[in-house]
């Protein structure tokens, strides 16, 4: 839903800029292409991502914090319980019927025009095909066809020639393709009110262009008088370019407006510059990076790399409420029950400084959709109260073990065993690391393993009170040059650190 909000906001900003800088300028061809691309561009911009790294002045790095909680929650599930519609589901519930209604309406209108061109008598005139019909209130064009009322048409009339010249401009510039494109956008993005404004501006720009070219050859006063007469009768049909379809006052003002190249160039430059700023505002992601001084302070280890905060993060309503939320929202996936999959999924997540949850992922894979379901529920959780260190909120990483087990003696209505979900509680899985290391000839060398004896690639080895360090290779081995008097700290996320040296 956030993407849709950004889409509407971005299109509104771009349309506002167009109205402020270009709508009243005689840059008709440029305006045409801008209006054609405005809505697609506004749809694409929210998906763009241009990361910019800036220094973080006060970084706080909390890798893992222990939570001493013994409560657990259990739930038995036979069949998934119905859930309320999500916002996106409500949106689709409304969007799809309106989409098809508009699509059918536009296709019917297009089909009527096509049928009209095939069945009505056609006259060949220079640059177009003319259809005279009493159904036509005001002259208009569609594709290569010009439609007029027989009472208006007079081959020798000056007014008729000006009308035909006007509609031939629409035909020569293929304005019907622009209108087809705008109608397509209206069908797809009907929920965005800016699309309607863009279409209106497009139609008006078409008339500006046609008026401008006809005015070069016709008598200006007679042409303006003709527009006044034709405005009384108007065809409100879609997909067509009508000589009387747009605001007359705006068109007369534009015809009287002189061309000032300097002002026009300035407005085009301003529109381009501010548009780029808007695109940057919607697509740039600012990522904090530690500057050298703060990075040095972080890497100067004086104690265990992973430490406890003064106040642990807590779910609003208490951690038991969080466990009950997880239990009530989790559904044992049908695919997992069908294939007899059971076991544990460990979900890790970060409680941010504002209490929101981020970086939600599963540490292990169980299959059958279990880890996806666990991630979904944790992601949708309400915010926590953030962890606090020295009176300031800090980021805290946590893990949540979730057990999926089957009761093979009970079968649900779908013919598969019922499922049981057990939430043990947020915990710290950090038995002490096992480090086999030795010092010789100025080098520390060794291997890092977890409490079960498995090698740990990517473990950090840092020389205390310095910025120097290394990480273990794919086999869990490391080698680092250090003075014999220096102490080392070996750490890995989720485990207690180990100190080396005297």
Three-class SS string for 91-155?
HHHHHHHHHHHHHHHHHHHHHHHHHHHHHCCCEEECCEEEEECCCCCCCEEECCEEEECCCCCCC
pLDDT over 60 at 239, yes or no: yes
Q: Can you count the helices (H) and strands (E) in the chain?
A: 13, 23
Checking if the pLDDT of 241 tops 70, the result is: no
| 176-187 as b/e: b if 16+ CB within 10 A | bebbbbbbebbb
Token pair belonging to 57: 């002045």
Q: Bigger pLDDT: 335 or 306?
A: 335
Identify the pLDDT of residue 159.
Answer: 87
> Cα–Cα distance between 471 and 451 in angstroms, integer?
18
Residue 445 three-state SS? strand
Residue with tokens 């060794």: 446
In this structure, the strands spanning 498-500 and 488-491 are antiparallel
Phi, psi of 273 (to 5 degrees): -65, -50
State the pLDDT at residue 234. 55
The pLDDT tens digits of the residues spanning 185-231 come to 999 999 999 999 999 999 999 999 988 898 888 887 888 888 877 76
179: pLDDT confidence band, cut at 50, 70 and 90?
Answer: very high
- The whole-angstrom separation of Cα 359 and Cα 469 is 26
Per-residue pLDDT of 266-318, as tens digits, reads 999 999 999 888 888 877 654 444 444 433 333 333 333 333 456 778 888 88
- Tell me: pLDDT of 240 over 60: yes
Least confident stretch, 154-168, 332-346, 359-373, 449-463: 449-463
Which residues, 6 or more positions from 25, have their beta carbon under 8 angstroms from its beta carbon? Answer: 31, 263, 264, 267, 268
Between 239 and 325, whose confidence is greater?
325
| Domain regions of the chain by residue span | 2-31+41-56+270-288, 73-83+309-423, 92-257, 431-500
Q: Inform me whether the pLDDT recorded for 65 exceeds 50.
A: no
Instruction: Please list the residues that pair with 447 across neighbouring strands.
Output: 436, 477
> Which is higher by pLDDT, 131 or 247?
131
> Do the two domains 73-83+309-423 and 431-500 of this chain adopt the same fold?
no
Phi/psi of residue 412, each to 5°? -80, 180
Average pLDDT value for residue range 4-24:
91
- The total of other beta-carbon atoms located within 10 Å of residue 195's CB is 22
Pick the CATH number of 431-500 from 3.30.70.580, 3.40.50.300, 2.40.50.140, 2.60.40.150: 2.60.40.150
Q: Are 26 and 258 in contact (CB under 8 A)?
A: no
- pLDDT bucket at 498, cuts 50 / 70 / 90: confident
> Is the model more confident about 274 or about 237?
274
What average pLDDT does the chain have?
80
Q: In terms of pTM, does the model score above 0.85?
A: no
Tokens of 309: 């905060």
pLDDT at 34: 95
* DSSP assignment letter at 83: -
- Taking a C-beta distance cutoff of 8 angstroms, is the pair 467, 300 a contact? yes
Which class is 73-83+309-423 in CATH?
alpha beta
CA distance 142 to 145: 5
- Check pLDDT > 90 for residue 327: no
148, with CB counted inside 10 A (0-12, 13-18, 19+), is buried
Strand order in the sheet with 469-471: 469-471, 460-463, 488-491, 498-500
**How far is Cα 464 from Cα 451, in angstroms, rounded to an integer?**
23
Percent of the chain scored above 90 by pLDDT? Answer: 27
**What is the mean pLDDT of the segment spanning 242-247?**
61
């Amino acid at each position: 839903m956030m993407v849709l909000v950004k889409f509407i906001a971005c299109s509104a900003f771009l349309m506002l800029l167009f109205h402020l800088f270009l709508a009243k300028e005689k840059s008709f061809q440029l305006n045409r292409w801008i209006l054609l691309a405005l809505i697609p561009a506004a749809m694409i911009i929210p998906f763009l991502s241009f990361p910019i790294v800036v220094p973080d002045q006060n970084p706080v790095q909390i890798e893992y914090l222990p939570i001493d909680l013994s409560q657990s929650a259990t739930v038995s599930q036979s069949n998934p319980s119905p859930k309320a519609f999500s916002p996106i589901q409500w949106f689709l519930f409304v969007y799809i019927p309106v989409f098809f209604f508009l699509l059918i309406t536009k296709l019917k209108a297009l089909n009527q025009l096509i049928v009209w061109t095939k069945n009505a008598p056609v006259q060949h005139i220079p640059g177009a095909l003319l259809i005279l019909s009493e159904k036509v209130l005001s002259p208009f064009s569609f594709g290569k066809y010009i439609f007029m009322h027989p009472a208006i048409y007079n081959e020798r009339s000056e007014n008729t020639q000006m009308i035909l010249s006007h509609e031939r401009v629409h035909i020569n510039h293929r304005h019907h393709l622009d209108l087809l494109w705008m109608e397509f956008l209206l069908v797809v993005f009907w929920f965005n009110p800016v699309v309607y404004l863009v279409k209106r501006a497009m139609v008006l720009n078409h008339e500006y262009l046609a008026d401008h070219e006809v005015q070069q050859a016709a008598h200006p006063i007679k042409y303006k008088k003709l527009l006044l007469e034709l405005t009384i009768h108007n065809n409100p049909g879609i997909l067509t370019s009508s000589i009387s379809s747009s605001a007359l006052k705006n068109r007369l003002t534009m015809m009287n407006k002189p061309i000032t190249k300097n002002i026009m160039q300035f407005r085009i430059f301003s529109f381009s510059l501010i548009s780029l700023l808007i695109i940057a505002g919607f697509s740039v992601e600012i990522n904090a990076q530690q500057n050298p001084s703060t990075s040095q302070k972080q890497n100067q280890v004086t104690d265990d790399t992973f430490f406890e905060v003064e106040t642990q993060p807590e779910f609003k309503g208490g951690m038991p409420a969080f466990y009950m939320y997880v239990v009530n929202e989790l559904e044992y996936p049908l695919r997992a029950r069908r294939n007899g999959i059971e076991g544990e999924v460990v979900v890790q997540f970060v409680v941010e400084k504002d209490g929101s949850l981020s970086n939600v992922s599963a540490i292990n894979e169980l299959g059958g959709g279990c880890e996806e379901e666990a991630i979904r529920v944790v992601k949708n959780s309400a915010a926590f109260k953030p962890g606090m260190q020295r009176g300031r909120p800090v980021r805290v990483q946590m893990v949540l073990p979730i057990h999926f087990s089957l009761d093979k003696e009970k079968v649900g209505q779908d013919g598969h065993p019922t499922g049981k979900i057990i939430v043990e509680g947020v915990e710290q899985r950090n038995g002490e690391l096992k480090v086999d290391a030795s010092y010789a000839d100025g080098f520390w060398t060794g291997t890092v393993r977890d409490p079960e004896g498995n090698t740990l690639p990517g473990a950090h080895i840092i020389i205390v009170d310095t910025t120097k360090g290394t990480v273990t290779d794919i086999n869990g081995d490391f080698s680092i040059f250090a003075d014999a008097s220096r102490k080392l700290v070996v750490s890995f996320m989720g485990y207690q650190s180990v100190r080396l040296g005297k």
